[in-house]
Structure 1
């Protein structure tokens, strides 16, 4: 491998490992070995991994401003308008709760006058994001990944065209192309949607206080935004077209909805917006229709935030010129992330039918680079990917939902172990434990292989991460219950699951140690 890297860097070899002697020649047919379209998590991971094997890599990245003019630097959705700012806002929300709880623990805090400063919070979040943008640019330079801040698009299957900052059209060629442009939030096709509404692309840098906010959409993005807005002292309402958290375990989704309702977040069920109008005082009149009662209503809000899903950014790539096939607004790929054009690949959120999560994009990008340039045969495993919804009581899961397991194996072959629990830290401030719940979906027979784990409670993401590795390694109920928990933690509750739904017994514990 060291010899292979040396040959790559010297220009004497431009081939996959093991060597393809027919192409290991000094002349260079293409300008680059790899061109990556998109500077988000997946694209950057692929590009940075590829240069480790001595190949010539160039990465294009360009962000179209949102309808209200928001734009950002390199790093993609996660860094700029996704995971990172969302987690920081979530933390701000939790800190607000902690300040009020501190009084019960004996801290002399005058919580009557404590309130967040929205503009200061936004500035702090944006300052951090800009520092990450800068570190990313420096990292690309140090790793010798060429970076072009422009929209790259296909002229043919090996040729990419782009505009320079002076407006000149330039072209270059690549042996391999990886499309990693991700997606952007959708807007509904109703009057006033783009003129007056914002999305998650805007909220983390929004200069004015959101005030009374209508969050349209009940996926994880909508719920997370509604929850941190509520935690920061604003008044969110969530508009739900059909069900909350489609694709997740139904019982856990309903439990999360109940938790949010208990905290004062209003839900407009089976409702769709029909128009948004700006009133003379600057507020927004939203008209909406209930699809069950067939009634029309309206209400006034300060902010309308669209969270109705995301679309893949394929329209500017000119994929037709390269012969790449799409499905809806995403790119169809096989198990190797290859499109129907053998040397063109796709990773991340632009892929059809795969989990739209940053760690998924990163790992698939790295594995692809290793297969293309380092002789690896390892494929990305898209099953049993853990995820977390960052609401005040977080919900995390890995593996199958209860519904998926029943559909696949039949109800007679599924055993569900479950229980409510009481986090120790909730006792003194007398926080509600009504929705602290977890369950393990398992097979009935043998050692009872676990198919899915679901947890709702404090730091759910941290809790489920370790169990995710165990589940992928073939975790069974026997092994889980033979594991000694760390006391007193909430994670240990998984090691104490003994009550099944089938038994009909009460899953509520009498004490923290029962």
Structure 2
């Protein structure tokens, strides 16, 4: 496909940065632009200024610069392909000495401004953002095969062997259970129903393959170079990249981000490597986020009867706050329609843990039932906002739903009251 107009403009900007050590995107009537030009003149440094108000496509170039740097205004200054900023930031860089370092002709040059080792969600997000800010970026991603010889494509654990295939297999299990339950609702069928593991596996792998390809296209569109190679540091700013055929290449970078994630650990018992399907189930966003609230992390176990939680377990809450400061509300319940009307009303479970010394704030949330993940995500946001038992009681529940259970909880664990349910 021919490049789009925006891609042509981005290439033009990159070409200007490659050719001109000091590049000023300017407007001829702007006094702030004049101050920056006067600064470089006083330093005896040649610069090239592109006057956007005198270019037919100047406004479009300014939009591209905004996408690349996050800066809407001029002057927009680059030194040796490094984005300095506008007038104030350029003057500040001159005062603190960073501008002179950038202008130093003897400064070391590298193949890439940033090399990211690891092509999971964190590495991909980092590399694309850096490229959008005008950096020259490379991503290395290589999956060491498992003991069974399995490997996978770009996207990391979550996409290839974690969250995505896990949820799709979970859906397959739910469909199987729904087939059984459908008879209770009057559905009749004579054909023998059976499950084909190979069909499920192939369709899931095809879907994941489409995601892998999409990530590669996204990197290409962002001008990020991707290498399916194993990275090893050989010098502080130099790495060796070895591809699956054993070919070695060497690259230098000014900065590096290591986003290699984790691998599952085997149980070291007979058959673990031969018969177990392993994965490292975690949410990469939480692990990669440097101000993360590690207490209120919504978590779900995707079994046919899902379990979701957020905040403290009852045991941990007692250990930290003391049993006398807590009030635990709990109840059994059964969602209407599963598996059939008139069934057992006491298979699912809900519990909240409240801190009596903090306005009965909910510090622990637990639910066992269908769609627990969807329920827990919403309550996780509420807990971040300081959810209290009073606010739950004031909330009108949607009937009939599983989540409404949390708006009508009355029985405390300390009371020893009956938590079984007789109906909806």
TM-score class, shorter-chain normalisation, is 0.7 to 0.9
Q: Which structure is higher in RCO with an 8 Å CA cutoff and minimum separation 6?
A: 1
**Aligned twin of 2:134:** 54
Give CA-to-partner distance per residue, 1:194-249, whole Å, 9 cap, x none. Answer: 4x344326xxxxxxxxxxxxxxxxxxxxxxxxxxxxxxxxxxxxxxxxxxxxxxxx
**Aligned twin of 2:182:** 102
Cα drift, residue 100 of structure 1: 1.6
For residues 165 and 15 of structure 1, what CA distance do their matches in structure 2 show?
39
Per the alignment, do residues 135 and 156 of structure 1 end up closer, same or farther by CA in structure 2, a change over 3 Å counting? Answer: same
**Aligned twin of 1:439:** 351
Q: Is the 8 A contact 2:82 2:134 kept in 1?
A: no
**Aligned twin of 1:274:** none
After the TM superposition, which residues 370-385 of structure 1 pair with which residues of structure 2 at under 5 Å, given as runs?
A: 379-385=291-297
For residues 9 and 135 of structure 1, what CA distance do their matches in structure 2 show?
32
Give CA-to-partner distance per residue, 1:147-205, whole Å, 9 cap, x none. Answer: 110001112333222125664433223233221112222234456654x344326xxxx
Cα drift, residue 16 of structure 1: 9.6
**Aligned twin of 2:259:** 180
What TM-score, normalized to structure 1?
0.62
Give CA-to-partner distance per residue, 1:326-384, whole Å, 9 cap, x none. Answer: xxxxxxxxxxxxxxxxxxxxxxx9xxxxxx423324x62xxx7xxxxxxxxxx333331
Give CA-to-partner distance per residue, 1:397-455, whole Å, 9 cap, x none. Answer: 11111111111110001111111112012262665554300111110135211101101
SS at match of 1:183: coil
What TM-score, normalized to structure 2?
0.74
**Aligned twin of 1:358:** 284
After the TM superposition, which residues 8-407 of structure 1 pair with which residues of structure 2 at under 5 Å, given as runs?
A: 12-14=81-83, 20-21=93-94, 22-24=97-99, 25=102, 29-110=109-190, 113-164=192-243, 167-189=246-268, 194=273, 196-200=274-278, 356-361=282-287, 364=289, 379-407=291-319
For residues 160 and 433 of structure 1, what CA distance do their matches in structure 2 show?
61
For residues 94 and 468 of structure 1, what CA distance do their matches in structure 2 show?
24
SS at match of 2:194: coil
Give CA-to-partner distance per residue, 1:454-484, whole Å, 9 cap, x none. Answer: 0110100001111100101111111111111
Per the alignment, do residues 193 and 458 of structure 1 end up closer, same or farther by CA in structure 2, a change over 3 Å counting? Answer: closer
Give CA-to-partner distance per residue, 1:292-350, whole Å, 9 cap, x none. Answer: xxxxxxxxxxxxxxxxxx6xxxxxxxxxxxxxxxxxxxxxxxxxxxxxxxxxxxxxx9x
Cα drift, residue 127 of structure 1: 0.8
Structure 2, unmatched stretches of 5+, are: 1-64
For residues 4 and 153 of structure 1, what CA distance do their matches in structure 2 show?
30
Cα drift, residue 126 of structure 1: 0.8
Q: Is the 8 A contact 1:68 1:198 kept in 2?
A: no
For residues 41 and 152 of structure 1, what CA distance do their matches in structure 2 show?
18
Alignment partner of 1:470 out of 378, 382, 385:
382
For residues 509 and 83 of structure 1, what CA distance do their matches in structure 2 show?
34
SS at match of 2:154: coil
For residues 118 and 49 of structure 1, what CA distance do their matches in structure 2 show?
39
Q: Is the 8 A contact 2:139 2:226 kept in 1?
A: yes
Q: Is the 8 A contact 1:36 1:178 kept in 2?
A: yes
For residues 150 and 489 of structure 1, what CA distance do their matches in structure 2 show?
49
Indicate the structure with greater helix content.
Answer: 2
Cα drift, residue 51 of structure 1: 2.4
For residues 114 and 186 of structure 1, what CA distance do their matches in structure 2 show?
36
For residues 144 and 154 of structure 1, what CA distance do their matches in structure 2 show?
24
For residues 155 and 71 of structure 1, what CA distance do their matches in structure 2 show?
25
**Aligned twin of 2:412:** 500
Cα drift, residue 103 of structure 1: 1.8
Does residue 412 in structure 1 map to residue 324 in structure 2? Answer: yes
**Aligned twin of 1:273:** none
Cα drift, residue 45 of structure 1: 2.1
Per the alignment, do residues 197 and 92 of structure 1 end up closer, same or farther by CA in structure 2, a change over 3 Å counting? Answer: closer
Per the alignment, do residues 442 and 186 of structure 1 end up closer, same or farther by CA in structure 2, a change over 3 Å counting? Answer: same
Q: Is the 8 A contact 1:9 1:54 kept in 2?
A: no
Alignment partner of 1:461 out of 362, 370, 373:
373
For residues 270 and 184 of structure 2, what CA distance do their matches in structure 1 show?
49
For residues 445 and 186 of structure 1, what CA distance do their matches in structure 2 show?
41
Per the alignment, do residues 477 and 11 of structure 1 end up closer, same or farther by CA in structure 2, a change over 3 Å counting? Answer: farther
Give CA-to-partner distance per residue, 1:4-36, whole Å, 9 cap, x none. Answer: 546588854356996755445366633323221
Q: Is the 8 A contact 1:38 1:182 kept in 2?
A: yes
Cα drift, residue 70 of structure 1: 1.1
